[in-house]
Chain A
Amino acid sequence: MIPHAPILAIVLPLFAAFLMPVVGILARRRGIKRAREWFAIAAVLAELVIVMSMLPVVWGGQVLVYQLGGWSPPWGINLAIDGLNLLVAMIVSGISALVVIYSFVYMGRDHGLDQYYTLFLLILAGMMGVTLTGDIFNLYVFFEIMCISSYALVAFRRNWQSIEASIKYLIVGSLGTSFILLGIALLYGMVGSLNIAHLAQKLPLEPTSAIIVPLALFVTGFGIKIAMVPLHMWQPDAYQAAPSAVAALFSGATATVGIYAMVRVVYTLFGVFAIGIMLAALGLVTMVLGAFMALTQRDLKRLLAYSCISQIGYILLGLGLGTSLGIQGGLFHLFNNAIYKTMLFMIVGAIIYRVGTSNMDQLGGLWKNMPVTATLFGVGALAISGVPPFNGFASKWMIYVAGIEAGQAVFTIIALIMSALTLAYFLKAFNSIFLGQRPKHLSDVKETPLPMMFPIMLLAVLCIVFGVLPQLGIDIVRPAQEALMNSGGYIGAVLGGA
């Protein structure tokens, strides 16, 4: 492990973010081309290396506790990393690295790229902070950093759609974070501590009726970020209006962080597995509504946004079942969802880059122009619909089996039907974009440029690898599931000062 890796993982993107404007100015003075892009790629790859260096220690079964300023846990702020934190950190840094590489060409036509990369590294710092911290208020602060940078990223192009979407996102999102702050205030008033492990130790001593309000505030606050029905309405607007690279980052990384925060607070901090069934039921509603709304969309990005809502429903269903197989399936689906959802948004970005629109009524017959892109879109569509041998099948299968084993066969049946609907709306998307008659003005559209194709291909390969060898994915996810179900170990490791 790199020494001080936990704090480096947060500080590195934060410093890189504030160095970015300087790099931009220097590059303009000296006439160096693409300096900002290379700097961002270097920073994000370094981040990935730092996160990966923690892998052997954490998978060895140890909970990494890093005390800031040498203060021991209940008093000082600490970073605590167990299997779950590390899984999310891996997803976040991996997806961010691919999206930065993708942005190299995709954002090349935009102005003000200094700001874009600054915000990008800031959102990465925020996500890493939320993921690695062991202190609930610290989590709130990083969550706000993440949210504010994401509002700004949505508004990046400053045309009417992005401004409108960003305002809606900002007001709804800030209401959500206010709920989280209120929840933290109530918890502090009740227990007098802000450390997650310490809170988890002390909360069972409180009367159960006292935790209802803070818990509901937390679930609502994080539920807004992950677009749980009925708190989802900002999301299609934001994803449609944001640049595709940003939408890819949101759907892959930010949603993952939101789920992590929700699960950590509900299962570790409050330790209430009893409300899992509520999460599963809400997940079911989320899944059904997302799939039905996706069916009627005309805009490809909006369709993907609704499908994102639907997939979050699957993850919540798996995690909410609360059995070890269900949680494993939910986390595996979280991992897979990050892979194929990012990939699909990147493909939409490639189409927008070449054609200029994502309105499905104006597209058609692009199969002849972009055969590789079309194939990759097919892989993504089949993976997300849970068709073997792609990765979506493996994780959905685990969730189905977990549903039946937990005695909730109805959940499984509905989830199966929704899976078929997913295939239906992706067939529609595939048909309207790549098949059918090609409008005349699209006849000289070229294939996706290679630097943009590279991350998409990598993700497609991952889709197939984790589909053909699901055991590999399950092995990656298992430490996270064990960590999530062993909150006693987490508390002991943090408070024991180990």
Chain B
Amino acid sequence: MVSESVLFGPGFWGPIIATAAMLLIAAVGGLILLGGRRLTKAKPSAEKLKTYACGEELEASDIHADSEQFFSPIRRVFRPFYRYIRPAHTGDLSTYLFWVVVGLIIILVSIALAIGVG
């Protein structure tokens, strides 16, 4: 199998072995799922299917998780980062051009440092 695997320095990755292992595990997982099937019959009623929304009447089809909220915890953790980054993306063309010139200066300086002159 070594000829079909890839050696990366000290590590090794055998894609075929890994794929076979993943498929096998997926099959085992499927079997477990099959084994855990429902025994009692489901008896849905209108009352059970209702979504609790503080007493508001809501159609099931109207309920949709807002994509803005999906990762709000991560956004809260990285708030300092977003505080600086998001205002830069204003959609204003002058800002874009400003950042192009800033980028040119950054690249100029870092090239000068990397080549060792300056």
Contact = CB atoms under 8 A, between A and B. Distances in A.
Contacts of B115: 208-209, 211-212, 272, 274-275
A296 B75 contact: yes
A293 B97 contact: no
Interface in A159-210: 167-168, 171-172, 175-176, 179, 208-209
A437 B67 contact: no
A41 interface: no
Question: What's the dominant secondary structure at chain A's contact region?
Answer: helix
Contact of A388 (B22, B91, B99): B22
A233 B118 CA distance: 30
Give the size category of A's interface with B.
35 or more
Given A212-B108, A394-B6, A224 B100 contact: yes
A440 B61 CA distance: 6
A404 B11 CA distance: 11
Contact of A172 (B22, B78, B100): B100
Contacts of A292: 78, 81-82, 85
Contacts of B61: 437-440
Give the size category of B's interface with A.
35 or more
Interface string B1-18: 000101011010101101
B70 interface: yes
A440 B115 CA distance: 61
26 contacts: A208-B117, A215-B111, A216-B111, A220-B104, A230-B100, A231-B99, A233-B89, A233-B95, A272-B114, A274-B114, A274-B115, A275-B110, A275-B111, A296-B86, A298-B68, A361-B64, A389-B22, A394-B13, A397-B13, A401-B8, A401-B11, A425-B71, A428-B67, A437-B62, A439-B62, A468-B19
Given A277-B114, A292-B85, 8 more contacts: A230-B100, A296-B82, A298-B68, A388-B15, A397-B13, A432-B67, A436-B65, A439-B62
Q: Which 10 A-B pairs have the closest CB atoms?
A: A216-B108, A389-B19, A360-B67, A401-B8, A209-B117, A275-B114, A220-B104, A278-B110, A230-B99, A428-B70
